Amino acid sequence: MEWSYSGDEVYVTGSFCDWTTTYLLSTNPKSIKTIKLNLHPGVYQYKFIVDGFWCYDVNKPTMKDQQGNVNNELIVEPAPCPPQKSNNSHTQKSNNSHTQQKSKNSHTHIQFRTPLQFPCELIPLITQHMD
C-alpha cells in the first residue's frame, strides 16, 4: 500500500486486522510512504492515519462501512493455480528430475500509486471524516 501525499507519520489499519493494529509505512527513496502486507484473498476496508488524522485515498476504490464512514476498498485475488502435471509417467519423471515446483505462498503483495500531491479539494472531505 502506498501513501504519496504529504505527511510525516503515516499508518494504515483496516478490516484485515479487525481495525485493532496500526502499521507504520516506511519512506522509500522517492519519498513515498509504503508498506507490504501479506493478505489472504478477500475484500478489505482500510484507512490511513496521517499525522494523527484518519484519511482515505480518493484515487482508490472506496466503500462505506455500516456506520457510513468512507474507507478504501481492497480486493485481494487468489494466487493463480499452478499448472497441472501430466499423467504421462515419462513427463512426470522428466519434470521431477529437472525442476521442482515449490508451492507458492497464497498471500499477495499489493502496491498502489497515487498522485504526489494531496488534492486541496479533499481537505474538507477529510476534515468531515476525522470525527
Q: What is the DSSP string of 4-36?
A: -SS-SSEEEEEGGGTT---EEPEE-TTS-EE--
Q: Which residues of the chain have pLDDT under 70?
A: 86-131
Question: For 22-57, how does the pLDDT look when each residue is reduced to its tens digit (9 = 90+)?
Answer: 999 999 988 899 999 999 999 999 999 999 999 999
HEC secondary structure over 75-126: EECCCCCCCCCCCCHHHHHHHHHHCCCCCCCCCECCCCCCCCCCCHHHHHHH
Domains of the chain: 2-128 (2.60.40.10)
Write phi, then psi, for 38 (nearest 5 degrees): -90, 110
3-state secondary structure of 128: helix
pLDDT of residue 29: 86
